[in-house]
């Protein structure tokens, strides 16, 4: 007869230690033990909130997972998910990324907003105008996500939030300065993003694939953080989700993406 695992004194910390440890070692697991598995979205956020301390790294930015209906259906969630991206896993345009321990092996071409003004928690939601007033720059980005769960499609919302919404590696390209009145921001739903892979694929997507509008995705992220007691700080950035459907990649391949007026970015995989 098997002996049940005792309930840890701090289940959230036990879960964070387990998930972050697997992330640092490049390992995967089937599920968190029952004794520390988050059951609700708030449970998952409590685990996520401990990661920065566990990995001893600062949050460079925030990501949004599942910003399309197809993405939500793929991982069986009811809406988008927010998660931090840690500074040591952020690289510039042209970087080389190691896929050795990556289970997902996809590249996601994303619009990234640089934040110039802190947006702190408050009682009422931030408006689109208030959020745009806090944006200082726009960047091209390529996210290379991964989950600590082998079958992440079946992990469920609470565990995926605890897993920092599949955070892993991120490329952030050169900044384009903008302000709230920049007319190009209103045109982001029609932004055409053209990707090219070294093996000849040319996937394409639109800004509207991200919750209908990358700015609306940003507004969602701001209010998700603010309504749950978290701060989007000046100097951080937000990557808003895949404009182009996730691109399967293998070691030895490279991906380039052209975001029009926002610029270009490329990555090589080993």
Q: How many CB atoms within 10 Å of residue 178?
A: 19
The DSSP code sequence of 76-131 is: T-SS-EEEEEEGGGEEETT-EE--TT-SS-EEEEEEEEEE-S-B---SSPPPHHHH
Q: What is the model's pLDDT at position 116?
A: 98
Question: Which residues are 62's β-sheet partners?
Answer: 84, 238
DSSP H or E stretch at residue 138: strand 135-144
pLDDT digits 0-9 by tens, 20-59: 999 999 999 999 999 999 999 999 999 999 999 999 999 9
**Beta carbons within 10 angstroms of residue 86's beta carbon:** 22
> Taking all residues of the chain, what is their mean pLDDT, rounded to a whole number?
94
Other Cβ atoms less than 10 A from the Cβ of 82: the count is 21
Residue 5 is predicted with a pLDDT of: 54
In the prediction, which pLDDT does 72 show?
78
Q: 128-164: per-residue pLDDT in tens? A: 999 999 999 999 999 999 999 999 988 899 999 999 9
The pTM (predicted TM-score) of the whole model is 0.94
Burial (CB count within 10 angstroms: exposed 0-12, middle 13-18, buried 19+), residue 161: buried
Q: What is the DSSP annotation of 186-243?
A: HTGGG-EEEEEETTS---EEEGGGTTTSHHHHHHHHHHHHHHTT--B-TT-EEEEEES
| 3-state secondary structure at position 147 | coil
d(CA 245, CA 69): 12
Selection from 240, 254, 270 nearest residue 94 by Cα: 254
Distance CA 168, CA 160 (A): 13
């Amino acid at each position: 007869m098997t002996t049940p695992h005792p309930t840890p004194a701090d289940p959230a910390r036990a879960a964070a230690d387990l998930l972050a440890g697997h992330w640092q070692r490049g390992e995967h697991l089937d599920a968190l033990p029952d004794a520390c598995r988050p059951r609700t979205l708030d449970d998952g956020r409590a685990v996520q909130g401990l990661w920065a301390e566990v990995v001893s790294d600062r949050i460079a930015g925030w990501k949004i997972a599942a910003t399309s209906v197809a993405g939500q259906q793929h991982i069986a969630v009811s809406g988008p998910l927010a998660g931090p991206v840690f500074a040591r896993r952020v690289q510039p345009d042209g970087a080389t990324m190691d896929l050795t321990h990556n289970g997902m092996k996809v590249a996601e071409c994303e619009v990234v907003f640089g934040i110039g003004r802190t947006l702190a928690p408050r009682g009422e939601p931030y408006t689109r105008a208030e959020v745009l007033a806090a944006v200082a720059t726009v960047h091209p980005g390529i996210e290379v996500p991964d989950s600590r769960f082998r079958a992440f499609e079946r992990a469920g919302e609470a565990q995926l939030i605890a897993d920092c919404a599949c955070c892993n590696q991120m490329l952030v390209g050169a900044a384009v300065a903008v302000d709230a009145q920049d007319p190009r921001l209103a045109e982001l739903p029609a932004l055409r993003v053209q990707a090219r892979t070294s093996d000849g694929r040319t996937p394409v997507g639109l800004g509207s694939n991200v919750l209908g509008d990358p700015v609306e995705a940003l507004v969602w992220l701001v209010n998700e953080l603010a309504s749950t007691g978290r701060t989007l700080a000046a100097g951080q950035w937000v990557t808003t989700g895949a404009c182009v459907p996730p691109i399967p990649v293998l070691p030895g391949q490279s991906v380039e993406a052209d975001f029009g007026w926002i610029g270009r970015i490329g990555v090589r995989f080993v």
